[in-house]
Amino acid sequence: MTHTPPKPLLSKSELAQKIDHTLLKPNFMATEFDQVCNEAIQYHFKTICIPPTWVAQGMRNLNGSHSEVITVVGFPLGYSESKSKALESSIAIEHGASEIDMVINIGWLKNKELKKLEDDIKIVALACGKTPLKVIIETAYLTQDEKLTAAKIAEHAGAAFVKTSTGFATGLAPGISAGATLADIQFFRQNLKPSTKIKASGGIRDFAMAIEMINAGADRLGTSASVAILNGLTNEGTY
pLDDT in tens, 53-67: 999 999 999 999 999
Write the CB contacts of 151 (distance below 8 Å, at least 6 apart in sequence).
137, 162, 188, 191, 192
Q: Per-residue pLDDT tens for 159-200?
A: 999 999 999 999 998 889 999 999 999 999 999 999 999 999
pLDDT of residue 175: 86
pLDDT of residue 9: 64
Backbone φ and ψ for 125, nearest 5 degrees, come out as -60, -40
pLDDT of residue 6: 52
Q: Yes or no: is domain 12-230 CATH 3.20.20.70?
A: yes
Confidence check: pLDDT of 11 > 90? no
Q: Per-residue pLDDT tens for 193-235?
A: 999 999 999 999 999 999 999 999 999 999 999 999 999 876 6
Work out the number of other CB atoms within 10 angstroms of the CB of residue 11: 9
Confidence check: pLDDT of 4 > 90? no
Write the CB contacts of 207 (distance below 8 Å, at least 6 apart in sequence).
5, 8, 229, 230, 232, 233
Mean pLDDT lowest among 24-38, 90-104, 165-179? 165-179
Read off the pLDDT band of 36 (50, 70, 90). Answer: very high
Of residues 233 and 30, more confidence is placed in: 30
pLDDT of residue 136: 98
Read off the pLDDT band of 7 (50, 70, 90). Answer: low
Dist CA 53 CA 226 (whole Å): 22
Q: Where are the domains of the chain?
A: 12-230
Q: Per-residue pLDDT tens for 107-150?
A: 999 999 999 999 999 999 999 999 999 999 999 999 999 999 99
What is the distance, to the nearest Å, from the Cα of residue 116 to the centroid of all Cα atoms in its chain?
22
Instruction: Look up the pTM and report it.
Output: 0.94
- Residue 197, beta-bridge partner list: 161
Enumerate the active-site residues.
101, 163, 199
Residue-wise over 164-191: b if at least 16 C-beta within 10 A, else e? bbbbbbeeeeeeebbbbbeebbbbbbee
Mean pLDDT of 90-94: 98
What is the distance, to the nearest Å, from the Cα of residue 186 to the centroid of all Cα atoms in its chain?
16
Mean pLDDT lowest among 23-37, 99-113, 223-237? 223-237
52: three-class secondary structure by DSSP: helix
With beta carbons less than 8 A apart as the criterion, state whether 210 and 204 touch.
yes
